Amino acid sequence: MAEIASEKQAEAQLVERAKTDEQAFRQLYELYFPKIYGYIKKRVGQTETAQDLVSETFLKAFSNLPTFVYKGAPFSAWLYRIATNLIIDYYRQEKHYQKVDIENYDLVAENQDIEKEILTSQQRMEIDKYLIKLPERERKVIELKFFAQLNNGEIAQTLNISANLVGVLIFRALKKMKNN
């Protein structure tokens, strides 16, 4: 428990330093970029669009950092909230449906045999098929939990809901996916 508290304190200090020190912001960027990129890429499917939205996420974070007040919630929750809002805006403005960039959709390592590659591809397509059927709120929770690998508390802070509701939404979504 003390280790978690010291991690939160270290993050809070880094965030405060980042308000005036570009090097500190660069550390935050390097720490959170892979997770934010993975989250956005899963939601929009296209590499170029994901890269643009990640850049915009960190630009907004950098621009608004002086007004950020650390209230005990992880900095990542704020970043995910920014990213989620940008994704919503992207789909509203462009009226896009999720597209897949086939060239960059190779999820299987080259050294795996073809049967395993086909099985993995089919499993991912099945998961995507079930996710599309979920209500938006449940889909967001599942994506944050399993693709962005956030814990229930971080998801709650990102979506501005209670951690208990996050657990309920995950349970409902998984039950729906299992029954379909």
Same domain flag for 100 and 18: yes
SS3 71: coil
Same domain flag for 80 and 137: no
Q: What is the pLDDT of residues 79-117, one digit of tens each?
A: 998 998 898 888 877 654 545 555 555 544 444 444 555
Same domain flag for 75 and 99: yes
The amino acid sitting at 143 is E
**Residue where one domain finishes, among candidates 77, 105, 133:** 105
Torsion region of 39: left, alpha or beta (phi above 0 gives left; psi -120 to 50 gives alpha): alpha
Residues listed for the chain: 180
- pTM for the full predicted model: 0.60
Q: What is the pLDDT of residues 61-74, one digit of tens each?
A: 999 988 888 777 78
